[in-house]
């Protein structure tokens, strides 16, 4: 809100001059007197007051337009993120895909069917992501966070999940053949119909994992698995799994 102060009419030059003590300061006081009169006359000009109100209204309209276009800006941001992911498809390295994936997931955009096979995605953070039928084959996902993510029917063959956090992940019907799950957290994950043939599960945390309907465990290495559910190890070995320490153990 504008608060305008009423200005008093300045003295005439003759009256103002009589208040001066030093003649040498006359030019400086003359300038002061001129500016005083200019400010007084301008303060009485309604046009300037209108301009002030228009300035405030322009700021208000700018704020309104900024928020009204927020949806379009978000769509543009998502489009650019998908462009980064799709342009780098089939290529090694990150290519900005870590940031793009995290940005989309943070905005709760489904990543259904995304293809990042062979990508370098170390430390990617995608908690509670929708990755149904995603292709992460041969991707480097060491130290990733996929806690609570939906990876149903995902292609994860030969992917590296070392020390990754897949706690509570939905891995139903996912293909984890030849994957590296050394030290990974699979606690409370759903492994219904999962293919774990040739997977390396050494020291993986299997606390509360749903394992009864695993599709394949042939040659999977279960050495040193932690918090294995009752009956899991005996069943896995009977299905062809092995328990062999690594070269560094």
Q: H helices then E strands: how many in the chain?
A: 6, 0
**Angle, CA 208 vertex, CA 206 and CA 211 arms, to 5°:** 70
Task: For the beta carbon of residue 39, count every other beta carbon within 10 angstroms.
Answer: 11
Amino acid 51: pLDDT: 67
pLDDT range class, residue 1, cuts 50, 70, 90:
very low
pTM beyond 0.85:
no
Most confident of the ranges 46-60, 71-85, 88-102, 115-129: 115-129
> Which class would CATH give 80-249?
mainly beta
Amino acid 5: pLDDT: 60
In the chain, domain spans: 13-68, 80-249
DSSP string, 31-75: HHHHHHHHHHHHHT-HHHHHHHHHHHHHHHHHHHHHHHTHHHHHH
Do residues 218 and 198 touch, judged by C-beta distance below 8 A? yes
């Amino acid at each position: 809100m504008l608060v305008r102060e009423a200005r008093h009419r300045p003295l005439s030059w003759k009256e103002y001059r009589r208040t001066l003590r030093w003649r040498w300061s006359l030019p400086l006081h003359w300038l002061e007197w001129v500016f005083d009169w200019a400010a007084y006359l301008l303060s009485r000009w309604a046009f300037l007051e209108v301009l002030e109100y228009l300035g405030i209204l322009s700021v208000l309209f700018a704020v309104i337009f900024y928020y009204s276009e927020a949806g379009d800006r978000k769509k543009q941001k998502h489009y650019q993120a998908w462009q980064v992911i799709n342009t780098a498809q089939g290529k090694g390295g990150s290519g900005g895909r870590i940031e793009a994936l995290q940005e989309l997931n943070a905005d709760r955009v489904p990543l259904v069917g995304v293809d990042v096979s062979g990508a370098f995605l170390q430390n990617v953070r995608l908690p509670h992501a929708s990755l149904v039928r995603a292709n992460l084959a041969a991707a480097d996902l060491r130290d990733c966070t996929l806690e609570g993510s939906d990876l149903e029917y995902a292609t994860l063959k030969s992917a590296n999940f070392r020390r990754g956090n897949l706690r509570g992940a939905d891995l139903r019907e996912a293909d984890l053949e030849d994957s590296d799950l050394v030290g990974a957290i699979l606690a409370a994950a759903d492994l219904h119909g999962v293919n774990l043939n040739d997977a390396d599960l050494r020291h993986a945390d299997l606390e509360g994992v749903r394992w009864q309907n695993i599709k394949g465990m042939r040659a999977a290495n279960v050495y040193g698995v932690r918090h294995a559910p009752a009956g899991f190890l005996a069943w896995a070995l009977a299905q062809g799994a092995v328990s062999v320490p690594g070269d560094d153990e």
